[in-house]
Each structure stands twice: as structure tokens, then as C-alpha cells.
Chain A
Amino acid sequence: EIVMTQSPATLSVSPGERATLSCRASQSVSSNLAWYQQKPGQAPRLLIYGASTRATGIPARFSGSGSGTEFTLTISSLQSEDFAVYYCQQYNNWPPRFTFGPGTKVDIK
């Protein structure tokens, strides 16, 4: 099973600042990596897929990069609505197996 890790567990950022979140896979997942945002009491929302492609309706301040085992989600200028938990997910397996990272909580500094 591919194990996903995320760092840091919590990131304290001031509004307007840049946030950089990391995700690592225990083995290569190529570019089969997605990022989700989850706010309290809400379902997750797809932000990024294919490691760097923004999903429909996602603002340009969200960007993803990386391939293989190392990935990064960058939020260029944090808005109040961006404070949430962010999960990475790999989808590189067949038969179907999906694993999520443990999440990074982005909170207000």
C-alpha cells in the first residue's frame, strides 16, 4: 500500500501571506496526485488533480507542483475562506486503491 504523509500538521499563516504545504508518497505515484480542501462541517472539495491542474472554479491563487514522490500545494495569498484542512490523495493504483494523507490544517496566525 502506498502511504501518504503531509507536513506540517498545522500551518499558521496571516491573511495575505503565502502558504506552502507538502505531501510525500512512499513510492512513486507519477503525477496521479490530487489535493482537497475541507472546511468544518463540509464535504471535501477537489482543488488540484494531476498534481498541477486546477479543478473547475478553483481560484488561480491555488497551485500544485511535483511528481513522483514529492508534491507541493501553494496558496499564493491566503484569503479568509482558505483556512481549512488540506488533504493530498494518490490515485496511482490498479486494482483501485486510493490513499489520503493525514491532512494539513491551515489556521489563522
Chain B
Amino acid sequence: EVQLVESGGGLVQPGRSLRLSCAASGFTFDDYAMHWVRQAPGKGLEWVSGISWNSGSIGYADSVKGRFTISRDNAKNSLYLQMNSLRAEDTALYYCAKDMGLEPSHPFDYWGQGTLVTVSS
């Protein structure tokens, strides 16, 4: 059974940093690209970032480019999102999602339950 478990969310002040993690199991992690998707309270889905199986291809939404960094450790079956210079508008539930292919260019067939990030003073 595929499982994606996010962690690392919490309350953080504007301008500070936070690192999210996603632990994957139930599939061959290094055979798939991975993504972060967020959902602000009561709002729709926003793709944040995606990374290929070997970290060779990475993409970011314009709203986070230059502030967020996605990475993965295939030996640990883990995905990460380093979030710097956080803003109030980054407040959201952050989902980890599995891509259907090696490169981050396919739909997302499995999702975690999310970790909540609240940016507030």
C-alpha cells in the first residue's frame, strides 16, 4: 500500500524558515517524480514544486520561486521542502504527491494527508 506521510508543519513568524518532510513507502521511491501541492484554508489546490526521480529536473510555481527549495533523498525514501522567507500567503495545508512517471510531468496518483503551515506573527 502506498503511503505518504508529511511532517514538519507548524506556526512560524513571517520571514522565518520551515522544512517539510514526506516519508514514502509502499512503492519504489526512486522510480517516480514527486511534488508538493498546497491548499490555503477554504481555497483550491496550488501546485508548489516538483522533482524528477534523480533530482535532475525541478520546477517551482512563480509564487515560491527563489524562496522554496525541493529536494529528495532516495536512500531514505524521503521528499523535502525547504521554505524560506515565509509570508502570510504561504499559510496552507501542504500535500506531498506522487507523480505517475519518472519526470515531473504527469498527474498525481497518490497524495498524503498534508501538514499545516501557518505563517503569522
With a CB–CB cut-off of 8 A, which chain B residues contact A45? Answer: 111
With a CB–CB cut-off of 8 A, which chain A residues contact B107? Answer: 34, 46, 49, 55, 89, 91
- Decide yes or no: A94 and B105 within 8 Å by CB, A43-B95, A43-B113 being known contacts: yes
Instruction: Verify if B112 is at the interface (C-beta below 8 Å from A).
Output: yes
Query: Chain A contact residues (Cβ within 8 angstroms of B): what range?
Result: 20 to 34
Inter-chain CB contacts under 8 Å: number: 61
Contact indicator A100/B109 (Cβ below 8 Å): no
| Interface residues in B, total, Cβ within 8 A | 25
Give A38's nearest chain B residue, CB to CB: B45
Contact indicator A91/B45 (Cβ below 8 Å): no
With a CB–CB cut-off of 8 A, which chain B residues contact A42? Answer: 113
Give A49's nearest chain B residue, CB to CB: B107
Extra inter-chain contacts (10) besides given A1-B62, A89-B107, A91-B106, CB under 8 Å: A34-B107, A43-B111, A43-B113, A44-B108, A46-B107, A89-B45, A97-B47, A98-B35, A100-B44, A102-B44
